[in-house]
Amino acid sequence: MDCYTANWNPLGEEAFYRKFELYTMEWGLKEDLWDCLVAAAPYGGPIALLKNNARKEKSPNTRPLLEIYSASGLLLASIPWKSGQLVQLGWTASEDLLCIQEDGTVLIYNLFCEFKRHFSMGNEVLQNHVLEAKVFHTEYGTGVAILTGAYRFSLTTNIDDLKLRRMPEVPGLQKPPSCWAVLTQDRVTIVLLAVGQDLYLLDNTSCSVVTPPGMSPSAGAYLQMAVSFNYRCLALFTDTGYIWMGLATLKDKLCEFNSTIRSPPKQMVWCTRPRSRQRAVVVAWDRQLMVAGDSMECIRGRHRFVLDEDSYLVPEPDGVRILSRTSHEFLHEIPEASQEIFKIASMAPGALLLEAQKEYEKESQKADEYLREIKDQKLLPEAVSQCIEAAGYEHEPETQKSLLRAASFGKCFVDKFPPESFVRMCQDLRVLNSIRDYQIGIPLTFTQYKRLTIEVLLDRLVLRRLYPLAIRICEYLRLPEIQGVQQKDKSDEEVAYAINQKLGDTPGISYSEIAARAYDCGRTELAIKLLEYEPRSGEQVPLLLKMKRSKLALSKAIESGDTDLVYTVVLHLKNELNRGTFFMTLQNQPVALSLYRQFCKHQERETLKDLYNQDDNHQELGNFHVHSSYSEKRIEGRVGALQNAVDEYYKAKNEFAAKATEDQIKLLRLQRHLQEDFDKPYLDLSLHNTVSTLIQDGHHKKAEQLYREFKIPDKRYWWLKISALASRGDWEEMEKFSKSKKSPIGYLPFVEIAVKHHNRYEAKKYAPRVTPEQRVKAFILVGDLEQAADAAIEHKNEAEMNLVLSKCSATTDSAVMEKLSRARALLLKK
């Protein structure tokens, strides 16, 4: 701490400047910085570098390489530059890279060298080319100004709302201006340019010559000009080494300085602190750096600020960053609070408090003395505030800590010191220290941080895809987390894809958890996209339901083939939607519909009816009624249900079913009468069995009536009647029946049925009436082999003869056999 002020350099009486290293650059740059196109974004932003841009070396195998580094020199991205010749690089306020080409096209890339879009600075530029270009920031946004080969200026104040303005011509301009700058005054953007010893101001309509007030007439030609970060101040450097500093309005001179260096500086930038009275510019030449301000003295590189290598200056609102191949430094005016405390032999309350605290730690009674001293002056609150404030300006955490410790110590002796400022500072420093970490590489100062605001900082972290840090910061500062994950310039699809790219199918990673998180943050669409990567549908569906994407959940569930999931969704939908919509939803998903039907079939039959009603499925409605008719106990109920079914079948144009059901109703009614009349169960018999039972019970009339009423086909009726009669043993009736008219089924069935009932006698009666083709079979059935043989011989049919022969037994039927054999031999001879 003793040499704390070792790197302080006084400028005049009041001000001290110091330069300290932010990072050792790790970028392993081989090229000279000045051989590259360089652009570094303000507020500790990233650095863009275009290597090999020099036109002359352009050989096909050395393409320019566009690289983007963090402020600490970590490579963020790089691409070979394949587009046209670049004139200038620049950063927009939202940290997009602008690449201005010779032909006036401006290409916009993001931090990771991903192309976003492009626009053109006008057709005129196509022929004339862009000689120089500048990127500037105004309250309207990021602007671009170009100087064309015809020495005309064009500019746009906001690249997001592109309006090209062509500035008026500068009369008599035959060569490029020696230097120029974009100013903004009263919301008007103007260009200031210097040609030799003349200064011109270009506004929208006119070009006027201006002279800075108090400018020494012998100052010489302008070589360099610099506009301060806030556009309030302007500095001019002439070829006599003279520096004029004044307001940008050119109405007032602030100070002047003679550097005595006549060579044109590489760069000149303002280095002021907001609210500081001190104005200073930093001028850089090849190997030295000079800070010049309102003083006869200056801080010269020869003593203090030697540049060992090419350096590049980046203006910041409260200082200047100095970039070189190996290091990254910050040069700024030491803020008042720090001065007060650390200035050698300072007796400021803050300084005393710091001392007091140090003594206190050493357990020395001096602590009390110091403290008393402050207290006597009643300056303790000021002392505490001073320490807190100074902590903010310190880059080294150790120094920050000791200042905060002092503040904390002093606080104890103040009644009701409001704690907010202390807490706030601790938090802010913690955030700042973490983003200054070289892995992150955003060297924001406290002042810049406050101007940038935490929201913008979070956005930038997110833009750099430093999500975990952003989330941590949100958590730490108790900000709604939404800000942490907000990914404004990427579609949900891209984000989801990016996440997938990073995680792949790593085991143990659950996409549904990530999605749930996204949903909690209000990113429903993103959550849905993320779920696409979730292989287990079981995990997708519940979340989708939670997000009220029931229909999507339904199709996911169906895709999964897991019916449990489908049920889950269906029953969820059932509660969520009104009945009509619910049914409509199901109609579009046959799989879900049939599952739900299955469920209803067992659990809610009435719902089933509604379902069919909904889509006018009359066929199913008919079936439904038929089905329910069987659960009706009373005949009337059954008939009613069946009648409903008939109506539905007609509506379904299924006349067959309607007719059949009508017949069923008729039959049911009839069966009830029969049941009453004969006191025997008839209900639920089929028509066939009903008639059959009637005949068996001897109700031939009734049977006849049914036969006619139901138009039973003759064949069936005959089959039915003879078997019924046979089982009743009513052979007489059967014979009568057989003679009633010609049998539609022939007479073989009569034989068969009689034989079946072991009545050969009856069977024999019918055998002769059997058609000749079947007669042999009939005779065999009744056991009359002789007649069978005769019939077979008559037909001259060898197969039949063989059949009869096979039935003959040698002992009893020798005569028949002999006859057959003879006939067969005869047949074969022929």
Partner 1 sequence: MASTARRDAPEPPDFGILKRLARDQLVYLLEQLPGRKDLFIEPDLMSPLDRIANVSVLKQHEVDKLYRVENRPAPSTSDQLCFLVRPRVRTMRYIADIVNADKMSGRNRKYKIIFSPQKFYACEMVLEEEGVFGDVTCDEWSFYLLPLDEDIISMELPEFFRDYFLEGDHRWINSVARALQLLNSLYGPFSRVYGIGRCAKMSYELWRDLEEESESDGQGRKPEIGNIFLMDRDVDYVTALCSQVVYEGLVDDTFRIKCGKWWEVTSSDKSIKVLLNAQDKIFSQIRNEHFSSVFGFLSQKSRNLQAQYDRRQGMDIKQMKNFVSQELKGLKQEHRLLSLHIGACESIMKKKTKQDFQEMIKVEHALLEGFDIRESTSFIEEHIDRQVSPIESLRLMCLLSITENGLIPKDYRSLKTQYLQSYGPEHLLTFHNLKRIGLLTEQAAGETLTAVESRVSKLVTDRAAGKITDAFNSLAKKSNFRAISKKLSLIPRVDGEYNLKTPRDMAYVFSGAYTPLSCKIIEQVLERRGWQGLEEAVRLLNGNEFAMADGAPEEGAGGDAQRVVVAVFLGGCTFSEIAALRFLGKERGRTGRCGRGGGTARPQRARSTRRCAAPRLPVHLPDHRRHQQRPRDGGHGRGQGVTPSRGRCGRARGCGAPRSAQ
Return the range that interacts with partner 1 (CB under 8 A); candidates 38-46, 78-86, 224-232, 560-568: 560-568
597 binds partner 1 (CB under 8 A): yes
41, 312 Cβ separation under 8 angstroms:
no
CA distances from 232 to 172, 204, 213, 274, 394 (A): 29, 20, 16, 11, 27
297, 12 Cβ separation under 8 angstroms:
yes
Question: Radius of gyration (Cα) for the chain, nearest Å?
Answer: 53
Closest approach of partner 1 to the CB of residue 744, in Å: 11
Residues 6+ apart with CB under 8 A from 27: 69, 73, 74, 75, 325
Residues 498-527 that bind partner 1 (CB under 8 A): 507
Closest approach of partner 1 to the CB of residue 630, in Å: 4
Return the range that interacts with partner 1 (CB under 8 A); candidates 190-198, 219-227, 370-378, 589-597: 589-597
Rank residues 469 and 565 by Cβ distance to partner 1 and give the closer one: 565
571 binds partner 1 (CB under 8 A): yes
Closest approach of partner 1 to the CB of residue 532, in Å: 15
**Position 801: which residue type?**
M
Q: Out of 7, 588, 594, 821, which residue is the one contacting partner 1 (CB under 8 A)?
A: 594
Q: Out of 14, 297, 663, 704, which residue is the one contacting partner 1 (CB under 8 A)?
A: 663
Closest approach of partner 1 to the CB of residue 680, in Å: 18
Closest-CA residue to 131 (of 194, 79, 73, 88)? 88
Q: Out of 561, 580, 637, 698, which residue is the one contacting partner 1 (CB under 8 A)?
A: 561
627 binds partner 1 (CB under 8 A): yes
Determine the 3-state secondary structure of 98 from DSSP.
strand
Closest approach of partner 1 to the CB of residue 774, in Å: 13
Rank residues 346 and 774 by Cβ distance to partner 1 and give the closer one: 774
CA distances from 791 to 390, 764, 784 (A): 135, 15, 11
Return the range that interacts with partner 1 (CB under 8 A); candidates 79-87, 127-135, 290-298, 718-726: 718-726
Rank residues 235 and 553 by Cβ distance to partner 1 and give the closer one: 553
Return the range that interacts with partner 1 (CB under 8 A); candidates 232-240, 653-661, 768-776, 801-809: 653-661
What is the C-alpha to C-alpha distance for residues 222 and 328, in angstroms, rounded to an integer? Answer: 30
Degrees to nearest 5, angle at CA 816 with 813 and 817: 85
Return the range that interacts with partner 1 (CB under 8 A); candidates 221-229, 390-398, 654-662, 672-680: 654-662
Return the range that interacts with partner 1 (CB under 8 A); candidates 234-242, 310-318, 394-402, 659-667: 659-667
The residue written with tokens 């489908």 in the block is 566
From edge to edge, which strands make up the β-sheet containing 86-91?
86-91, 97-101, 105-109, 115-120
626 binds partner 1 (CB under 8 A): yes
Return the range that interacts with partner 1 (CB under 8 A); candidates 15-23, 194-202, 371-379, 567-575: 567-575
Degrees to nearest 5, angle at CA 73 with 69 and 3: 140
Q: Out of 418, 637, 713, 729, which residue is the one contacting partner 1 (CB under 8 A)?
A: 713
Closest approach of partner 1 to the CB of residue 815, in Å: 30
545 binds partner 1 (CB under 8 A): no
Closest approach of partner 1 to the CB of residue 688, in Å: 5
Torsion of CA 387, 388, 392, 396, to 10 degrees: 60
Residues 6+ apart with CB under 8 A from 66: 48, 49, 50, 78, 79, 80, 81, 99, 109, 113
Structure tokens at 650: 């007609």
Question: How many residues sit in the footprint of partner 1 (CB under 8 A)?
Answer: 48
What is the C-alpha to C-alpha distance for residues 48 and 97, in angstroms, rounded to an integer? Answer: 8
Structure tokens at 128: 């004339």
480 binds partner 1 (CB under 8 A): no
The helix or strand, by DSSP H or E, that contains position 582, with its residue range, turns out to be helix 579-587
**Position 154: which residue type?**
S
The residue written with tokens 């403290």 in the block is 371
720 binds partner 1 (CB under 8 A): yes
CA distances from 199 to 128, 152, 283 (A): 24, 15, 20
Closest approach of partner 1 to the CB of residue 746, in Å: 11
564 binds partner 1 (CB under 8 A): yes
What is the C-alpha to C-alpha distance for residues 534 and 532, in angstroms, rounded to an integer? Answer: 5
What is the C-alpha to C-alpha distance for residues 769 and 358, in angstroms, rounded to an integer? Answer: 138
Q: Out of 530, 611, 687, 694, which residue is the one contacting partner 1 (CB under 8 A)?
A: 687
Rank residues 487 and 692 by Cβ distance to partner 1 and give the closer one: 692
660 binds partner 1 (CB under 8 A): yes
Closest approach of partner 1 to the CB of residue 732, in Å: 23
229, 315 Cβ separation under 8 angstroms:
yes
Beta bridge partners of 256: 244
Q: Out of 142, 661, 693, 743, which residue is the one contacting partner 1 (CB under 8 A)?
A: 661
Closest approach of partner 1 to the CB of residue 741, in Å: 18
435, 461 Cβ separation under 8 angstroms:
yes
28 binds partner 1 (CB under 8 A): no
**Position 578: which residue type?**
N
Return the range that interacts with partner 1 (CB under 8 A); candidates 71-79, 102-110, 545-553, 625-633: 625-633
Q: Out of 430, 451, 688, 795, which residue is the one contacting partner 1 (CB under 8 A)?
A: 688
650 binds partner 1 (CB under 8 A): no
Return the range that interacts with partner 1 (CB under 8 A); candidates 134-142, 293-301, 622-630, 818-826: 622-630
Closest approach of partner 1 to the CB of residue 775, in Å: 19
550 binds partner 1 (CB under 8 A): no
651 binds partner 1 (CB under 8 A): no
Return the range that interacts with partner 1 (CB under 8 A); candidates 268-276, 713-721, 735-743, 777-785: 713-721
Determine the 3-state secondary structure of 346 from DSSP.
coil
The residue written with tokens 């049941």 in the block is 675
536 binds partner 1 (CB under 8 A): yes
Rank residues 85 and 555 by Cβ distance to partner 1 and give the closer one: 555
Closest approach of partner 1 to the CB of residue 599, in Å: 5
Residues 602-621 that bind partner 1 (CB under 8 A): 602-603, 619
758 binds partner 1 (CB under 8 A): no
118 binds partner 1 (CB under 8 A): no
Rank residues 297 and 539 by Cβ distance to partner 1 and give the closer one: 539
Burial (CB < 10 A; 0-12, 13-18, 19+), residue 472, is middle
276 binds partner 1 (CB under 8 A): no
Degrees to nearest 5, angle at CA 238 with 235 and 243: 40
Residues 6+ apart with CB under 8 A from 705: none
Report DSSP state, residue 3: G
Cβ count within 10 A of residue 812: 10
What is the C-alpha to C-alpha distance for residues 186 and 196, in angstroms, rounded to an integer? Answer: 28
Residues 387-406 that bind partner 1 (CB under 8 A): none
Q: Out of 568, 589, 696, 738, which residue is the one contacting partner 1 (CB under 8 A)?
A: 568
Q: Out of 357, 385, 400, 664, which residue is the one contacting partner 1 (CB under 8 A)?
A: 664
712, 705 Cβ separation under 8 angstroms:
no
Closest-CA residue to 719 (of 691, 757, 700)? 691
What is the C-alpha to C-alpha distance for residues 442 and 316, in angstroms, rounded to an integer? Answer: 13
Rank residues 133 and 645 by Cβ distance to partner 1 and give the closer one: 645
Residues in touch with partner 1 (CB under 8 A): 507, 535-536, 560-568, 571, 590-591, 594-595, 597-599, 602-603, 619, 623, 626-627, 630, 656-657, 660-661, 663-664, 667, 684-689, 710, 712-713, 715-716, 719-720, 723
